[in-house]
Amino acid sequence: MKLWAGRFSKEIDPKTNDFNSSIPFDSRLFSEDIKGSIAHATMLGAAGIISKQDADTICDGLQGILADLQSGKLLIDPNVEDIHTFVEGELTQRIGLAGKRLHTARSRNDQVALDIRLYLKVQCDALCGQLRQLVEVLCRHALSYADAVMPGYTHLQRAQPITFGHHLLAYAEMFLRDIGRLCDAKARMDELPLGAGALAGTTYPLDRQMTADLLGFARVTNNSLDSVADRDFCVEIAAAISLAMVHLSRFSEEIILWCSWEFKFVELDDAFSTGSSIMPQKKNPDIAELVRGKSGRVFGDLMALLTMLKGLPLAYNKDMQEDKEAVFDAVDTLRLCLTAFIPMVETMKPIPENMRKAAAKGFINATDCADYLVNKGLAFRDAYKITGSLVALCIRSGHTLESLPLEDYQQVCDVFDDAVYDAISLERCVNGRNVHGAPAPENVRAQAKRILDSLSGKECMSHD
């Protein structure tokens, strides 16, 4: 029997019931739904809207349902319309008349808005926790490989020398921003919508602040229409998650490149690699590829949410039931990806010798050679041109800038002396890049330590 049975003379068509139902995906909200109802009933009792005794009976009944669902003793009926209907129906079956009083001064519209907020607040914390773990792993690697010189790239061409630690800390910065965005989204949605009713509030003397306090919300919402029509927070979270997926995907792409034979900058642990069914020599970075691949579905979730909302008149419309699968999928996907990605990164073995070898080729110290000439008094544009012809000379003669004889240098420009070899040594080039934010090993170590310090103990950390 439907909640709205009084108005109708027929049961809903069974296939349409399936179409209309959200139970296949909103049943995961059972504990939020029950906790929300306990707070609502407690407030109704305290405000004298229902009797204290009914409130107690309702709360006990709901606690019993929660315990039975958690233990698996009670199974959710797949034929009900949604989780709210299921809990209320079960409660009324268990406690009778008092159960029917629970929905006083409440609509499923403000109830569902409450449930998703409660759920997503917890998920934001969980995702931030995982992202913090990842940042910690990156900082620990950065400390170990602060001196490992590797080529930095632009256009995937060797460009200037950096260190592996510096490269990893670039990702740490991205994931810190992701944490910041999730925290911002959480703080903005930390408002109790309950009390908005279906759309226009209620005539009962509710104590909304009390319900907010019971449920740990920072504030109550200020407009009943917006309270039930707002899903901005789903979009914000899906957007924050999408960016985190962009970062994971870029990182995955680099890991995939790095463990190719062409690079061999890292070796993935066997436990986080897969083999081929036909090629015995293969060790594939499937985890990184899957993470890269899964970013697409999360962007799809974000688009689905934006598109679902864009034409909706105020206030609640059933279209909004589509919010859940999208935002749940975004949350689940990021969580799953991080669960595999973090230990993969933690156990990967960097190979500094290969990075160093790659850095020795490709003339990544050419800028430093030009800077050397600038220090000798030449204008940068002239220094740039001279260095360009030196590189061409090296390519013709099979040299690197390090191995090119001094006579050759001097033939191109007579200000060169022996000190050029020191000026273009890779270690020197890296050590010299010590302005704040640059890859000098001392910088990398200091920044990794600062991040590790800032991570310890902060529940929701913005990027500062």
Which residues of the shown chain bind ligand ARG in the complex (CB under 6 A)?
Answer: 22, 26, 82, 108-109, 112, 316, 318, 320-321
- The residue among 320 and 345 lying less far from ligand ARG, judged by its C-beta, is 320
User: Which residue is associated with the tokens 């006083």?
Assistant: 104
CB neighbourhood size of 340 (10 A): 15
Nearest distance, CB of residue 85 and ligand ARG, angstroms: 8
CB 71 within 8 A of CB 93: no
User: Is the separation of the CB atoms in 255 and 285 below 8 Å?
Assistant: yes
Q: Which is nearer to ligand ARG, 119 or 265 (CB)?
A: 119
User: Tokens at residue 85, please?
Assistant: 């209907």
51, 260, 276, 389: the active-site residue:
276
- For 222, which DSSP code? S
Q: Are the C-beta atoms of residues 196 and 227 closer than 8 Å to each other?
A: yes
Closer by beta carbon to ligand ARG, 115 or else 136: 115
Residue 204's closest CA among 283, 105, 290, 129?
105
Contact between 306 and 95 under an 8 Å Cβ cutoff? The reply is no
| Least distance from ligand ARG to the Cβ atom of residue 218, Å | 24
Q: Give the C-alpha separation, 318 to 188, whole Å.
A: 24
Judged by DSSP in three states, 259 sits in: coil
CA distance 307 to 302: 9
Nearer to ligand ARG, 3 or 374 (CB): 3
18 vs 5: CA distance, rounded Å: 17
- What are the φ and ψ backbone dihedral angles of 3, each rounded to 5 degrees? -60, -35
Rounded Cα distance, 3 and 81, in Å = 9
276 given a catalytic annotation: yes
Q: How far is the CB of 252 from ligand ARG (least distance, A)?
A: 34
Cβ proximity to ligand ARG: between 108 and 141 the closer is 108
Report in angstroms the alpha-carbon separations of 403 from 252, 357, 406, 409. 35, 14, 9, 11
155 is catalytic: yes
By the 10 Å C-beta count (0-12 exposed, 13-18 middle, 19+ buried), 377 is classed as: exposed
CB of 316 to ligand ARG, least distance (A): 6
* Residues pairing with 162 in the sheet: 150
Nearer residue to ligand ARG within complex by CB, 316 or 409:
316
Tokens coding 320: 């909004």
For ligand ARG, the closer CB: 265 or 316: 316
| The two three-digit tokens of residue 434, written as one number | 């010590």
Please say whether the dihedral angle defined by the alpha carbons of residues 193, 194, 195 and 197, taken in this order, is positive or negative.
positive
Residue 116 C-beta: closest distance to ligand ARG, Å: 8
Question: Which two tokens mark 459?
Answer: 């529940």
Q: In angstroms, what is the minimal distance from the CB of 170 to ligand ARG?
A: 40
User: C-beta of 294: minimal distance to ligand ARG in Å?
Assistant: 25
| Cis previous bond, 383, omega within 30 | no
| Catalytic residue (choose from 155, 277, 436, 456) | 155
Q: How far is the CB of 117 from ligand ARG (least distance, A)?
A: 13
136, amino acid identity: E
Cβ nearer to ligand ARG, comparing 109 with 211: 109
Q: Which of 11, 228, 221, 124 is nearest to 462 (CA)?
A: 124
- Residue among 336, 206, 223 nearest 232 (CA): 223
Instruction: Give the tokens for residue 70.
Output: 């958690």
| Residue 119 or 258 with smaller CB distance to ligand ARG | 119
Q: How far is the CB of 93 from ligand ARG (least distance, A)?
A: 20
By annotation, the residues acting in catalysis are: 155, 276
